[in-house]
Amino acid sequence: MPPPLIRVASLGKSYDTAAGPFPALRGVDLSIECGEFVAIMGHSGSGKSTFMNLLGCLDTPSSGDYFLLGRNIAGLGQDELAALRNRAIGFVFQGFNLLQRMTLADNVALPLVYAGVEREQRRQRARQELARVGLADYAASLPSRISGGQQQRVAIARALVNSPQLILADEPTGNLDSHTSEDIMRLFTRLNADGITIVVVTHEADIAAYARRQVRFLDGLIVSDIATPAGAASAC
Amino acid sequence: MLGEAWAAMGSNRLRTALTMLGMVIGVGSVVLMMAIGQGARYAVAQTISTMGSNLYMLISGSTNAGGLRSGGGGGPSLTVADAEAIAELAGVSRVAPLHYGRQQLVHGSSNWNATIVGTTPAYLDARAWTVTSGYPFSDSDVRSATRVALIGQTTADNLFGADDPIGKSIRIQQSPFLVIGVLGRKGQNLDGRDQDDTVVIPLTTAQRKVFGTPFPGSVRTVMVQADSAEAMPAVEQRIIALLRQRHRLREGQDNDFYLRNLTAAADSAAETTRVMSLLLGAIASVSLLVGGIGIMNIMLVSVTERTREIGIRMAIGARQRDILSQFLLEALMISVAGCLIGLLLGIAGALLVNAITNMVIVISGGSVLVAFGVAAGIGVFFGLYPARRAAALDPIEALRHQ
């Protein structure tokens, strides 16, 4: 059996504050298998964002271990972390985070620039991913010309462009209305069916309901980890 | 990468243009100042080379006749025999006694006032003065005091116009002189005097027919040329010692002659222009420095403004060196583009200065290359700090930045 996609063991992270070190995570154990669709839930301050940053290799833990694809992240340097963010992980943010100056196609192709992919191939793959999220006709538009829901779909296309195993979405529907939110979650469901592992951070129960597993954080610890009726993990 | 840097520059055109303007002015002024400075040095070097090299001017002392003091060159202390003795000294290559003054020249119906120089053939050699048409007079002309004349270009133009002066006759102080040669053009000397407005005649003829002298055998001035620049201090000592001995001057008695080092005057003129062009360059460099600081300033603002963008780029896989090179490239592009424009404006300015003031300007490939290299260096130097700051940002903090 292959190692789990993500495995964290007694993961801890504390921040230095004026009042001394503040433990945002206090020993978290969790495994996420390839092909899962997990919702991370919790109130603000529960440690779920800190956990996301660690999962996304944007930050390194203060204690404990984090194995991504069987590799321990703790000992990696900045460049290796950047390479993981580039190839193994796709980020989707609450605020879409598209670069306003660039066309949608250029936005989608940006991770490929850092992966060292040739220009022509970049263009081709960007078009492909835009088509996958249903925005093939908007390749040359600027982000400011399209709606929030469309921008989030472009952001998802960007997350997908380097064919990562894992998509990390931090409150992806936080800035969207309920109808558009459903669209985005259905898109995630479809991508998950294609075999991509998806981890969504949300505090909304109806968004979490799309996932097949719900992990709840409170005060830096996991307080519940339940499978939902949505069904078993797809093969990957 | 290049395209992205270009797009980033285009996103705030006015700001980019103003930042570039700093570099444009800096590089432009450096190029202009260097062109003017080098032009001045070139002009001085040209003038000095027309004077002749390693020269001394020996001037007889003044006289005091009943309280009326003559000034330098008025007395009879120097003689042709002195000059001949100096010629025997080690390190002396040429000696030419001189007797000069201004006189009216007449040819047919036209007349003109020019400097008359009575001397020996060595004078033309010492001053590296060529005869462009006709031929120079010889030592035998000096011995027999023949009435022959070599005339400068300015004198020839004024007296003869378009006619060929060779073989024509001019009158100086009622004596007819045969023009046997025309001298090559020398232009202005360091004082701005036209060296071509001159007539050169044999020394003896000048003394007998033109100036007259109450002291036969005496000369007012002697031009001495040393073998080399290195030999000059020693030659100076020898000339003074020789003349003091010949003039029977006792210990403690003042020299009855003056010895001037013409090369020293020329050197100081060259040194002055060298310092001036250095000064101009230094002042211009300050504006280049200010331009560089302007780039740093704007790049710092740009990093702060684009913190979120940097965070996004890092989240999707940009390494620190990707961010570093992105901002460095932007700084470099601004400075190099500014440099190119500045270069063109500087050259245009130099040509304009030349057209308006007739000042000599020299635009060398070297100075252009230096300006370009310095500008690129400034781009890297002043772009590095903001770029490093961008690259060192914490991705989480950067992503949170509004």
Does B273 reside within a domain? Answer: yes
ipTM associated with this complex? 0.93
Q: Are residues B211 and B326 in the same domain?
A: no
Q: Angle B128-B131-B135 (CA atoms, 0-180°, nearest 5)?
A: 130
Kindly tell me if the per-residue pLDDT of B230 is higher than 90: no
Cross-chain CB nearest to A79 (options B11, B313, B319): B319
User: Does A13 contact B at CB distance below 8 Å?
Assistant: no
User: Does A223 contact B at CB distance below 8 Å?
Assistant: no
Q: Which one is predicted more confidently, B65 or B318?
A: B318
Mutate to test the interface with B, among A44, A86, A93 (most CBs of B within 10 A): A86
Kindly tell me if the per-residue pLDDT of B171 is higher than 80: yes
pLDDT digits (tens, 9 = 90+) for A47-101: 888 999 999 998 888 899 999 988 888 888 889 999 999 999 999 999 899 998 8
Mean pLDDT highest for which of A117-131, B63-77, B152-166, B362-376?
A117-131
Arithmetic mean of pLDDT over chain B: 87
Cross-chain CB nearest to B322 (options A97, A102, A114): A114
User: In terms of residue numbers, what domain contains B325?
Assistant: 2-47+268-400
Number of domains making up chain B: 2
Q: Concatenated DSSP letters for B41-54?
A: HHHHHHHHHHH-SS
Q: Are residues B336 and B277 in the same domain?
A: yes
pLDDT digits (tens, 9 = 90+) for B233-257: 899 899 999 999 998 888 888 888 8
Alpha carbon B361 to chain centroid, angstroms: 11
pLDDT digits (tens, 9 = 90+) for B198-220: 999 999 898 888 887 767 778 88
Kindly tell me if the per-residue pLDDT of B34 is higher than 90: no
Q: Are residues B298 and B208 in the same domain?
A: no
According to the model, what pLDDT value does residue B393 have?
A: 92
The radius of gyration computed from the CA coordinates of chain B, to the nearest angstrom, equals 33
Interchain CB distance below 8 Å, B399 and A93: yes
Q: What percent of chain A has pLDDT over 70?
A: 96
Helix, strand, or coil (residue B83):
helix
Interchain CB distance below 8 Å, B315 and A86: no
Q: Are residues B272 and B393 in the same domain?
A: yes
CB B104 within 8 A of CB B112: yes
According to the model, what pLDDT value does residue B1 have?
A: 64
Interchain CB distance below 8 Å, B395 and A58: yes
According to the model, what pLDDT value does residue A60 have?
A: 85
According to the model, what pLDDT value does residue B65 have?
A: 65
According to the model, what pLDDT value does residue A74 have?
A: 80
Does B56 reside within a domain? Answer: no
Of the listed ranges A204-208, A220-224, B192-196, B384-388, the one predicted with least confidence? B192-196
Cross-chain CB nearest to A99 (options B309, B317, B321): B309
Q: Which one is predicted more confidently, A215 or B261?
A: A215
For chain A, domain boundaries: 98-162
Q: Are residues B37 and B111 in the same domain?
A: no
Q: What percent of chain B has pLDDT over 70?
A: 96
Interchain CB distance below 8 Å, A82 and B314: yes
According to the model, what pLDDT value does residue B361 have?
A: 87
According to the model, what pLDDT value does residue B179 have?
A: 93
Q: Are residues B215 and B330 in the same domain?
A: no
Instruction: Find, in chain A, the residue whose alpha carbon is nearest to that of B326.
Output: A114
Mean pLDDT of A3-19: 89
List residues bridging with B105 in a β-sheet. Answer: B112, B172
Interchain CB distance below 8 Å, A97 and B308: yes
Backbone angles phi, psi at B99, to 5 degrees: -140, 115
The alpha carbon of residue B1 is apart from the nearest alpha carbon of chain A, in Å, by: 9
Q: Quick one: pLDDT band at residue B363, thresholds 50, 70, 90? A: confident
Which of the listed residues B197, B225, B253 is the one where a domain comes to its end?
Answer: B225
Does B80 reside within a domain? Answer: no
Half-sphere exposure of residue B45, counting CA atoms within 13 Å on the CB side? 9
What is the Cα–Cα distance from B186 to B287, expressed in whole angstroms? 39
According to the model, what pLDDT value does residue A98 have?
A: 93
According to the model, what pLDDT value does residue B148 have?
A: 93
Q: Which residues of A touch B8 (CB under 8 A)?
A: 101
Which of the listed residues B209, B225, B241 is the one where a domain comes to its end?
Answer: B225
According to the model, what pLDDT value does residue A138 have?
A: 92
Q: Residues 43 to 62 of A: which have CB under 8 A from any B CB? A: 53, 56, 58-59
Interchain CB distance below 8 Å, A114 and B396: no
User: Does A111 contact B at CB distance below 8 Å?
Assistant: yes
Distances (CA, A) of A78 to A15, A24, A75, A97, B358: 19, 22, 10, 22, 62
The alpha carbon of residue B22 is apart from the nearest alpha carbon of chain A, in Å, by: 26
Mutate to test the interface with B, among A50, A99, A108 (most CBs of B within 10 A): A99
What is the Cα–Cα distance from B126 to A127, expressed in whole angstroms? 83
Q: Are residues B220 and B290 in the same domain?
A: no
Q: Angle B302-B309-B334 (CA atoms, 0-180°, nearest 5)?
A: 35
Which of the listed residues B161, B195, B225 is the one where a domain comes to its end?
Answer: B225
The alpha carbon of residue A191 is apart from the nearest alpha carbon of chain B, in Å, by: 19
Q: Which position has the token pair 């409170």?
A: A218
Kindly tell me if the per-residue pLDDT of A143 is higher than 90: yes
